[in-house]
Structure 1
Amino acid sequence: MIKTRFLSNLLLSFIWLAVTGSFSFVNFVFGFVLSFFLMWLISKDRRENKYFYRGPKLIAFVFFFLYELIKANLQVAYDVITPSFYMKPGIIKIPLTAKSDLEITLLGNLISLTPGTLSLDVSDDRKVLYVHAMYVHDRDEFIADIKNGFERKLLEILR
C-alpha cells in the first residue's frame, strides 16, 4: 500500500512537471508536496495509512540528522582549532529498543556518520550497542540523547 501511494505521488509530481513545463528540482519538490497534500486530502483512511504518517516523519528525521551532523562537525572542528582539548572519550553501552537487523544497522550507521561517534559492536543477544564517543561528559545524558533522538525517531519511521 505504501509503495503504490508513493508511486502515485511520484506520477502526480511528474504530471505536475509536464503541465507546468518547468523541469527543475524545486518545481518537482513543489509538485511532490502538492500531490502529497492532495492525496492526503482525498484519502478516506488518513490515520490508518502509514504513507501519510511516515512521509512527514521522514522529512523531519532528515532535518534532525542534518542538525545533529552540523552540530557534531562544529564541536569537533572547534576542538581541533583551539589549543586546549575538550575531549572526554569513552565507550558507552546503549540498551537497544531496536530489534530487527535493519533497525540496528541503520541506527549504528547513523551514529557512525556523526563525527565524534563510532558504533563498535552489538551484543550477541542484540540488546546492547557499544558506541565510542569523543565527548562523554555525562554517560546517562549521552545514552538519553541517542535513545530519545536517533533511535526513537528512526523507530517511528520504520515501525
Structure 2
Amino acid sequence: MSPRPSLLRRLFPSPVLSITVVAFWMVMSASFDLGQLLLGMLLGVVIPLFAARLDREFARIGSLRPLPRLVGVMLWDILLSNFRVAAQVLGPERRLTPGFIWVPLDIGNIHGIAALTSLITLTPGTVSSALSDDRRHLLVHVLHLEDPQALIAEIKSRYEAPLMEIFP
C-alpha cells in the first residue's frame, strides 16, 4: 500500500509550475495590483492540478550523434526553401499546386514526432497539419506539391531517420 500524499502535495503537485504560472501572469498583466496577484495565485493552484492529470510520456534519448548533421540539414533546407518559396510566391499563381499528403510514420516516440512536426513546420512551404489518432500518419500541407512520394521519401530520410536514432 502506497502512502497517501499530504494535503499540501495534493494542492500543489508542482510548486515550480505554480510559481512559474504566477510569475508569468504578473509579467503579462497590465497592472501589478492585489487583484492580479490573487488571480495569478488562483491560476497557479488550478493549472498544475489539471496538468498533473495529463498522461505524461517521458523523453528517452538515444544517440546524439545524428544531431549535428540533422541541424545542418535543417538549416540548409530552411535556407533553400526560403528562396524556393519566394520564387513561387512572386511567380504566377497558376503554377502553384498546393496539396496535402499523409506521411506514414515509423517513429513511435511522441517527442520524436513532435520534433519531426516542428522541423516540417519550420521549413518554409510546408506545415504539419494533423497527427492521426494512432500516431502512425502525419498530415502535411505543402505549398507546391509536385511528387508526393518523393517528398515523403525526403521527409523520412532527412528528418525521421535521424530522429529515430535520437528518440528511440
Q: Which TM-score band (shorter chain)?
A: 0.5 to 0.7
Shift of residue 84, structure 1, vs aligned partner: 5.4
Percent same amino acid among aligned pairs?
Answer: 36
Equivalents in 1 of 2:94, 2:123: separation in Å? 19
Q: Which has the larger radius of gyration?
A: 2
TM-score (norm 1): 0.62
Aligned pair count? 108
Counterpart position of 1:89:
98
Counterpart position of 1:138:
147
Counterpart position of 2:25:
none
Counterpart position of 1:108:
117
Q: Secondary structure at the match of 1:73?
A: helix
1:80 aligns with 2:89: yes
Say if 1:75 and 1:86 are closer, same or farther in 2 by CA, change over 3 A: farther
The higher-RCO structure (CA 8 Å, 6+ apart) is 2
Equivalents in 1 of 2:95, 2:162: separation in Å? 29
1:59 aligns with 2:68: yes
Say if 1:150 and 1:86 are closer, same or farther in 2 by CA, change over 3 A: farther
Gaps of 5+ in 2: 1-60
Shift of residue 75, structure 1, vs aligned partner: 0.4
Say if 1:77 and 1:85 are closer, same or farther in 2 by CA, change over 3 A: farther
* Greater helix fraction, Structure 1 or Structure 2: 1
Say if 1:83 and 1:136 are closer, same or farther in 2 by CA, change over 3 A: closer
Counterpart position of 1:99:
108
TM-score (norm 2): 0.59
1:150 aligns with 2:159: yes
Say if 1:81 and 1:69 are closer, same or farther in 2 by CA, change over 3 A: same
Moved over 6 A (4+): none
Q: Is the 8 A contact 2:103 2:138 kept in 1?
A: yes
CA RMSD of aligned residues (A): 1.9
